[in-house]
Amino acid sequence: MNPMAADQGGWRKSTRSSSSGNGDCVEARKSHTGFQVRDSKLGQESPVLDLAEPDFLALLSTGDGDVEAG
């Protein structure tokens, strides 16, 4: 199962985030240099972190479930 679901503007977030109801989720999107990550609660106002692909995959591996980068 792919843990990411499509979102507007190329941002994607976990399919599990909608069931929690607490809004605690990050969004991610592919960039030219790797991936960008932001806080989904803040949306457009969120700071954006630029991560190289190995760093992004390491971040995802700290969560639970299967991970797919692409």
Which tens digits make up the pLDDT trace of 28-43? 999 998 999 998 888 8
| Residue 60: predicted pLDDT | 82
| Residue 47: predicted pLDDT | 95
∠ CA 41-42-44 to the nearest 5 degrees?
Answer: 130
Q: Which residues contact residue 23 at a Cβ distance below 8 angstroms, ignoring those fewer than 6 apart?
A: 17, 40, 41
Mean pLDDT, rounded, for 47-57: 94
